[in-house]
Amino acid sequence: MMNTRYLGVGLTVAVWAALMAVPLFADEWSVSQLGQYVTYGILAMSLSFIWGQVGILCFGQAIFFGLGGYLMGLTTLERFTWFGGSQTMGLLLATLGPALAAYILGKLLFVGRGLSGAFFAIVTLCAAFIVEISAQHIDFIGGFDGLLGVPPLMASWRAGDDMLSTNETFYVVLASALLIYLAVLFIQRSPLGVVLAAIRNNDERTASFGYRTTDYKVLAFTISGAMAGYAGALFTAQFGFVSPAVIGTALSTEVLIWVAVGGRAVLMAAFLGVVLVRSVESFLSSALGPYWLLTLGGFFVLTVVVMPEGIFGRLLRLPLPKAWRSPGAGRVTEPGQDPLGMRRTPDST
């Protein structure tokens, strides 16, 4: 029993450790691929937070990702220099801009009762579609082709403006992911997290206790948007481009699949969902061709119906904080007591 409780912790630590060790023995291409996956992992975590924790299904998560990417690109390409053109400013805008967008969208859409969950899902799908098409038509941000030649992450602390190497970039991305992971974990286990989980469980009942659930939902959505936006900035800096495809329905719905398959309620599981689906994807899509998407779709339906926790959800579940466990569990036993009946006397068989 002790074993299963800490299995989740053990595995989580193992995964982070393994990721940190990768550049030591993998080639440059693999490291940059993994960097891409980790970036998407941050996006997945942002969705897992809003969906697994608060119970809000968003079909347009890539809007914030793409918005972050565009803001980063526009700033570092010096096309939008109201706030200066530095990389730091780019990252800052990429986090705050989507946060603001999420805030506004949340304020608009989190209406009272009834169909609010379904309404939100459909409207975000619609929004993703509109944003993508609009982005294709705005020349300032590159129209259909988007922004190209976006500068990579710079080591502004070194003498001379030096690009970060692949390994260094990877570690920056990984460190960001780890920090964000710990931050979200912290939120989940705080009183705020409890309220959010209560909202997921039963919005109306939570509201009847006096909590202004709409405000909490807007807050959570804003945080989620900020995370996604930051991930988008990292993405753009790594790959040098951002386009309407990065902001639209395709990526929005893809990240839903990653998170659903990996495990929506457990952060680490959502993170790994990306890695799993993406690594399998490149292999299988060349092997199966058009049947790949069919298989993925079928597998996705299967997961939703049979494994709503996701593939990794069960494995990576972390134990509840001590304060939340029921009183009596984990109580220190006096010598001679055997509350669980586990000790056997010599003459019993």
Two tokens, residue 291: 């049947």
Output 112 or 321, the one with its CB closest to another protein.
112
Decide: is 210 part of the binding site for another protein (CB under 8 A).
no
Per-residue DSSP letters for 62-94? HHHHHHHHHHHHHHHTTS--TT---HHHHHHHH
Among 19-27, 131-139, 141-149, 181-189, the segment contacting another protein (CB under 8 A): 131-139
Q: Tokens 């753009």 correspond to what residue?
A: 236
Decide: is 113 part of the binding site for another protein (CB under 8 A).
yes
Going 262 to 264 to 267 to 270, the CA torsion angle's sign is positive
Give dist(CA 198, CA 203) in Å, integer. Answer: 7
Cβ 36 to another protein shortest distance, Å: 23
Cβ 47 to another protein shortest distance, Å: 12
Among 80-88, 133-141, 183-191, 229-237, the segment contacting another protein (CB under 8 A): 133-141
Q: Would you say 289 and 241 are in contact if contact means Cβ atoms under 8 Å apart?
A: no
Find the binding residues for another protein in span 261-290 (CB under 8 A). 290
Among 23-31, 125-133, 178-186, 191-199, the segment contacting another protein (CB under 8 A): 125-133
Decide: is 127 part of the binding site for another protein (CB under 8 A).
yes
Decide: is 137 part of the binding site for another protein (CB under 8 A).
yes
Give dist(CA 279, CA 269) in Å, integer. Answer: 15
Decide: is 119 part of the binding site for another protein (CB under 8 A).
yes
DSSP 8-state symbol, 289? T
Decide: is 44 part of the binding site for another protein (CB under 8 A).
no
Output 109 or 318, the one with its CB closest to another protein.
109
Output 166 or 249, the one with its CB closest to another protein.
249
Q: Tokens 């400013």 correspond to what residue?
A: 89
Decide: is 260 part of the binding site for another protein (CB under 8 A).
yes
Q: Tokens 């995370």 correspond to what residue?
A: 227
Helix, strand or coil, per DSSP, at residue 154? strand
Q: What is the CA radius of gyration of the chain?
A: 22
Output 33 or 116, the one with its CB closest to another protein.
116
Cβ neighbors of 30 (< 8 A, separation 6 or more) are 22
How far does Cα 318 stand from its chain's mean position?
Answer: 17
Decide: is 138 part of the binding site for another protein (CB under 8 A).
no
Decide: is 117 part of the binding site for another protein (CB under 8 A).
yes
Decide: is 183 part of the binding site for another protein (CB under 8 A).
no
User: Within 10 Å of residue 255's Cβ, how many Cβ atoms?
Assistant: 26
Within 82-165, residue ranges assigned H as helices are 87-109, 116-137
Decide: is 144 part of the binding site for another protein (CB under 8 A).
no
Contacting residue, 54, 62, 67, 109, with another protein by CB under 8 A: 109
Among 32-40, 103-111, 153-161, 217-225, the segment contacting another protein (CB under 8 A): 103-111
Give dist(CA 152, CA 159) in Å, integer. Answer: 17
Contacting residue, 8, 55, 90, 232, with another protein by CB under 8 A: 55
Contacting residue, 15, 20, 22, 121, with another protein by CB under 8 A: 121
DSSP 8-state symbol, 162? E
Which positions lie near another protein, rule CB under 8 A? 55, 57, 108-109, 111-119, 121-123, 125-127, 129-130, 133-134, 137, 253, 256, 260, 290-291, 293-294, 296-298, 300-301, 304-306, 308
